[in-house]
Amino acid sequence: MYEHIQATTIGITCGRTLTITEVMGEGNTGRKKKYATASGLPLAAWLPASGPDGPLESPGEWPFTRGIHEEMYRKRLWTMRQYAGFSSAKETNERFRYLLEQGQTGLSVAFDLPTQIGYDADHPLAVAESGQVGVAINSLRDFETLFDGIPLKEVSVSMTINATALVLYSMLIAVAKKQGVDAEQIRGTIQNDILKEFVARGNFRFDAPSSMRLTTDLLQFAQETAPRFNPISVSGYHMREAGCTAVQEVAYTLGDGIAYLEAANKAGLDPSVTASRMSFFFNGHNDFFEEVSKFRASRRLWARIVRERFGVSDPRAQRLRFHTQTGGSTLSSAQPLVNAARVTVQGMAAVLGGTQSLHTNSFDEALGLPSEEAALLALRTQQVIGYESGVADVVDPLGGAPFIEDLTSKIEQEAADEIDFVDREFGGMVGAVEAGHVQRAIHEVAVRHQKEIESGERVQVGVNRFQVSEAAAYSAFKPNPEGKQQVLDALFSVRAERDDAAVQTALHGLRKSAGTNTPLGPSVLTAVESYATVGEICEVLADIFPPYKASSLF
């Protein structure tokens, strides 16, 4: 999952072409000529370590407690992604170009709420939200604008999209084709994790069985079209944002991974191939040592699940590859600059835990969308960790520390116990979600956590202790109000200019496929290439698939 720009040049600036050295920094591929402390003391790549049960494996060896690669960041730093998306595709494209110029090594697209649920910008339910928090995508025309001048052959793309993931993935394939890029060359990740939407995030459209079908169809379609692309990012991040513990984050994230592997198996997909392209998405929180141990425990537990439960012997499929984003729910609107310190602690924990890519939150995200200044500081935080702190020079430097090893084992065991409970009582995560067990368990923890903050038992700097009498005024970033009109103009233009007969033919084919067990990937791609809109495609599916109705928890 080390998804870095590989080509020698990137056409992302107006007026000139940036070289790979300018974008990524001198020597990133080879890292360093020698590894030593600031005083010149030589550093070994890694040191032998032992845990409660005896000697640990070496980095890169099963069950990958110490990392999925032998050299880890010595060979190459993690992918530095900064989540971005606001207003129109044009303005988001400008932010992407800026971040790439500043040394970001992968794009992460934030879509607005209507796009994530499947409504066009002029739908009555979408008018107030269109382009407000995330970029509005209505048709392939918007995707062409979003990636204008950004070569998909050279830049990996992560997309946080779930209910409509198959539609947006098809747009990526279509844009790559227009750029002359073979789909087999595309690298990146799409979230495509609908179960956590039912649990924690709420951006769902269809019921669980229909949603699982869409997820599985995308897994199959990606294997057929873009084998280097990760067609699912199983996300514990949002469950942690909703209030779950580190143990619950591991249990429910890996439990969802099990559910997707089982669904793919039932669809006839090879579990080894499916697992080898699965990625995961975890939260980075403040309890530093617990977070480091959480990542190590997740890696070890997943390796055992894939080998023992699914009979997969390929080490590439057993490796848990994951992205980390620092904890948005830990940020405070009070004294927002303090958030930069929180983000540094969380980012450092992710790196010491062996993350493959990282997003560091901007200090002003508790107020609104990140300003350009705050986004740059967040990126610079990653670069300081990677290039100045020295933590990337040794693999698993905390490995063997008694506290870390004991905590890693405890988290692994408690998470495994909860997975077993969910299997025994609910038949797996789909049943547990439909019964409301996961939601209830997370809500109980979240309420307890909030009470501890309100009582002062749990300290939150600047919020319930160390307040200031006169806080500095910060103005939250707001999307350009003209952006919404740009979104609508592009939508109206594409409807006026496209071949309506081709659109209707494509939508009819999609309806026919949805009414049978035919995989939907090819039909959705045909609809996208005809410039059918996200809303039109989802309306067709909504005629076939029942809506999701959340169970009452209280």
**Which residue is it, tokens 């209505």?**
138
Distance of CA 249 to the CA centre of its chain: 15
Residue 1 predicted with pLDDT over 60: no
Classify burial at 408, counting beta carbons within 10 Å of its beta carbon; exposed 0-12, middle 13-18, buried 19 or more. buried
Residue 554: its pLDDT value, please? 52
Query: What is the b/e burial string over 18-56, where b = at least 16 CB atoms within 10 angstroms of the residue's CB?
Result: bebebbbeeebeebeeeeeeeeeeebeebeebebeeeeb
Residue 548: CA atoms inside 13 Å, Cβ hemisphere, count?
22
| Spatial distance between the Cα atoms of 538 and 119, rounded to a whole number of angstroms | 8
Lowest mean pLDDT, pick from 92-96, 144-148, 398-402: 92-96
Q: Where are the beta strands (DSSP E) in 45-105?
A: 50-51, 54-55, 79-84
Span 265-272, average pLDDT: 96
pLDDT of residue 105: 76
The full DSSP string for 161-178 is --TTHHHHHHHHHHHHHH
Does position 250 have pLDDT exceeding 90, yes or no? yes
Average pLDDT of the residues in 545-551: 86
- Higher-confidence residue of 250 and 98: namely 250
Find how far residue 146's CA is from the centre of its chain: 19
* Contact call for residues 507 and 533 (beta carbons, < 8 A): no
Q: Please list the residues that pair with 278 across neighbouring strands.
A: 232
483-493 burial, b at 16+ Cβ within 10 Å, e below that, comes to: bbebbbebbee
What does pLDDT average to over the chain?
A: 91
Classified as helix, coil or strand, 514 is helix
Say if residue 55's pLDDT is above 80: yes
pLDDT value of residue 203: 94
Q: Taking the C-alpha atoms of 297, 298, 300 and 303 in order, what is their torsion angle to the nearest 10 degrees?
A: 170
Residue (of 162, 132, 134, 164) closest to 146 by Cα position: 134
Answer yes or no: are the C-beta atoms of 16 and 160 closer than 8 Å. no
Residue 4 above 60 pLDDT? no
Instruction: Round to whole Å and give the CA distance between 265 and 484.
Output: 43
| pLDDT given at position 58 | 97
Segment 49-59 mean pLDDT: 94
Q: Looking up tokens 């550093």, which residue turns up?
A: 43
Which runs of consecutive H residues, i.e. helices, occur in 62-196?
Answer: 89-101, 113-117, 140-146, 165-178, 195-196
- DSSP, residue by residue, 250-284: HHHHHHHHHHHHHHHHHTT--HHHHHHTEEEEEEE
355 token code pair: 């993350």
| Mode of pairing for the β-strands spanning 229-230 and 188-190 | parallel
Instruction: Give the model's pLDDT for residue 498.
Output: 97
Most confident of 199-208, 461-470, 520-529: 520-529
Confidence of residue 442 (pLDDT cuts 50, 70, 90): very high
50-54, 239-243, 308-312: least confidently modelled range: 50-54
Structure tokens given for 183? 């789909």
Q: Which two tokens stand for residue 435?
A: 């019964």
Residues 518, 522, 524, 525, Cα dihedral to 10° = 180
Looking at the predicted structure, is the pLDDT value of residue 85 above 90?
no
pLDDT the model gives residue 131: 83
> Model confidence over 332-373: pLDDT tens digits?
999 999 999 999 999 999 999 999 999 999 999 999 888 889
pLDDT in tens, 391-409: 999 999 999 999 999 999 9
The band of 196, judged by pLDDT with boundaries at 50, 70 and 90, is very high
